[in-house]
């Protein structure tokens, strides 16, 4: 039976930074308070749409894998902030890339979206239905944030990350070894974005209270720590592995305190846990593929390593993927394209949010 092996990776992070010092001008917070509670010092704010972020991450991942878009059988975009609902981001990405042979769909499991997508890909590759799949996590989270609400605006950033999965019969045992997925809809009330749906009168105006992200931070913290630790444990057990055999954990970059608490519960040393949340914040479904790219670029993954991807998100959802890394940790090629430049400042980009949510803040 073929296994799903990651053969390409790429990321796209916007150039405009929203620092903690910037946030001090927008809400009741300061750098020490944010760093102590989240580990975040800055995050990126996008001047383009989530589909644009997804496209650049995708092109970089394809170049890394050394394949063409026409080689793809399937494109999955994990996102909870699509540019539009229909056509899907994946369908628009298929057109932009010229992936004429690929099916395409979006998957929304909030911050667990990349783990869910990897699990779907694993099953489809093992069944023989597909051989090459592009998975992209892409988010433009600033669209839903009230930047006067310090419980949410300090956490989230924009970005995209992609990975190419290929079917391989690997004598060295490389590829996805096991997965674990779960959800608890009863706890979904702890993270709610109620605007983008069919609820209510189609002629109604947009209510800022519905359009802003609702977030119960303390409840989310407890649920996330328990969910990540339990999911990763189950996935390792299914793979027949113990935590002492894990080389690298790449968690969803939700909050440094959540990551530390969850991996301590797992019994994983901090040296084996990759974090880049300091620079990018929580990018939801994009965080794991962005972190995977950065871990590879930093030399934190070696051929044959046991790698655990684990996430927790709204819904409530959770998911973990255990894999043995393949023999390649360097990209086969490079895509040199960049996002269009912008002269907008971070405050220019955030002004529409401030104008829209001002009545809610007052």
Q: Which residues are catalytic?
A: 111, 252, 282
Please say whether the beta carbons of 167 and 130 come within 8 A: yes
37: three-class secondary structure by DSSP = helix
Q: How many other CB atoms are found less than 10 A from the CB of residue 60?
A: 25
Q: How many other CB atoms are found less than 10 A from the CB of residue 128?
A: 10
Please say whether the beta carbons of 306 and 247 come within 8 A: yes
DSSP string, 318-358: EEEEEEE--S--S-S------PPP----HHHHHHHHHHHHH
**Going along 130-257, which residue ranges are E strands?**
132-139, 159-168, 175-183, 191-192, 214-215, 248-251
Phi-psi region of 175 (alpha: psi -120 to 50; beta: other; left: phi over 0): left
> Which two tokens mark 142?
């600033």
140: three-class secondary structure by DSSP = coil
Please say whether the beta carbons of 352 and 333 come within 8 A: no
Q: 154 vs 220, 247, 355, CA distance in Å?
A: 15, 31, 18
Angle at which helices 50-65 and 89-97 cross, to 10°: 50
Q: What is the DSSP letter of 245?
A: G
d(CA 181, CA 235): 9
d(CA 308, CA 179): 10
> Which two tokens mark 97?
């890339």
Residue with tokens 């444990």: 233
Residue 11: name the closest of 60, 74, 67 by CA. Answer: 60
**Which stretch of DSSP H or E encloses residue 278?**
helix 277-280
16: three-class secondary structure by DSSP = strand
């Amino acid at each position: 039976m073929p296994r799903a092996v990651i053969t390409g990776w790429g990321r796209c992070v916007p150039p405009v930074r929203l620092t903690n010092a910037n946030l001090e001008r927008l809400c009741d917070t300061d750098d020490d308070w944010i760093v102590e509670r989240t580990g975040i010092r800055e995050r990126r704010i996008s001047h383009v749409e989530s589909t644009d972020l997804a496209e650049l991450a995708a092109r970089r991942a394809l170049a890394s894998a050394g394949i063409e878009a026409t080689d793809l059988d399937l494109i999955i975009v994990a996102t909870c902030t699509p540019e539009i609902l229909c056509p899907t981001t994946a369908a628009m990405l298929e057109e932009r890339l010229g992936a004429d042979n690929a099916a395409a769909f979006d998957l929304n499991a909030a911050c667990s979206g990349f783990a869910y997508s990897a699990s779907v890909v694993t099953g489809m590759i093992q069944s023989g239905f597909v051989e090459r799949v592009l998975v992209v996590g892409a988010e433009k989270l600033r669209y839903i944030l009230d930047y006067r609400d310090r419980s949410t605006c300090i956490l989230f950033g924009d970005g995209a990350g992609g990975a190419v999965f290929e079917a391989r019969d690997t004598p060295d045992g490389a590829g996805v070894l096991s997965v674990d997925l779960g959800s608890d809809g009863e706890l979904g009330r702890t993270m709610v974005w109620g605007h983008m749906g069919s609820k209510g009168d189609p002629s109604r105006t947009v209510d800022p209270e519905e359009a802003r992200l609702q977030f119960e931070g303390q409840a989310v913290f407890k649920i996330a720590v328990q969910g990540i630790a339990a999911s990763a444990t189950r996935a390792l057990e299914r793979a027949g592995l113990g935590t002492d055999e894990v080389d690298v954990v790449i968690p969803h970059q939700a909050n440094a305190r959540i990551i530390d608490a969850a991996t301590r519960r797992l019994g994983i040393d901090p040296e084996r846990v990759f974090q880049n949340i300091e620079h990018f914040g929580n990018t939801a479904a994009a965080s794991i593929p962005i972190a995977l790219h950065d871990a590879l670029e930093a030399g934190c993954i070696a051929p044959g390593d046991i790698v655990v991807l684990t996430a927790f998100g709204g819904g409530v959802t959770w998911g973990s993927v255990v894999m043995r890394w393949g023999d390649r940790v360097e990209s086969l090629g490079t895509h040199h394209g960049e996002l269009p430049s912008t002269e907008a400042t971070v405050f220019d980009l955030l002004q529409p949010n401030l104008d829209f949510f001002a009545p809610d803040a007052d």
